[in-house]
Amino acid sequence: MNLQHLIARLPYSKPFLFVDSLLEINENYVEGSYTFKENEYFYKGHFKNHPITPGVILVECCAQIGLVALGIFLLQKEGASLENVKIAMSSSQMDFYLPVYPLEFVTVKSEKIYFRFQKLKCEVKMYNSQGKLVCKGSLTGMLKKDIS
């Protein structure tokens, strides 16, 4: 699958798309990146005069790359039509180690723990441009093939 085509299949658009590129994907692993733009909507009020990316946005970036992109890839490998895929995160557990500031480039690496009955669980890690661990944890989501 063309990786840019896979990004186009994600159910997000600006300003809520946190995937610039997918670097690698297979049945067990996905790696992608994103640069947090200086004018992201959430920086306006998240710490006056010292904007920091909210943790919930870091989790969302990890989920879009590490759970949703991988899930769509796996569904396609099963032969599913991707026209009406529904996706919902069912659980997350994340630990945070470093802040992410505007204009920071991050890389998300995700390893599949399991994918069965359309439930996907992954271990995700986010790194900054210096290769330092920003956050890590596990994400679980449900993917539904809509047959309507």
Q: Which of these is catalytic: 37, 46, 121, 136?
A: 46
List, as one string, the DSSP characters of the chain: --HHHHHHHSS--TTS---SEEEEEETTEEEEEEE--TT-GGGTTSSTTS----HHHHHHHHHIIIIIIHHHHHHHHTT---TTEEEEEEEEEEEE-S---TT-EEEEEEEEEEEETTEEEEEEEEEETTS-EEEEEEEEEEEEE---
Q: What is the dihedral of CA 91, 66, 61, 8, to 10 degrees?
A: -120
Known catalytic membership, residue 46: yes
> Catalytic residue positions?
46
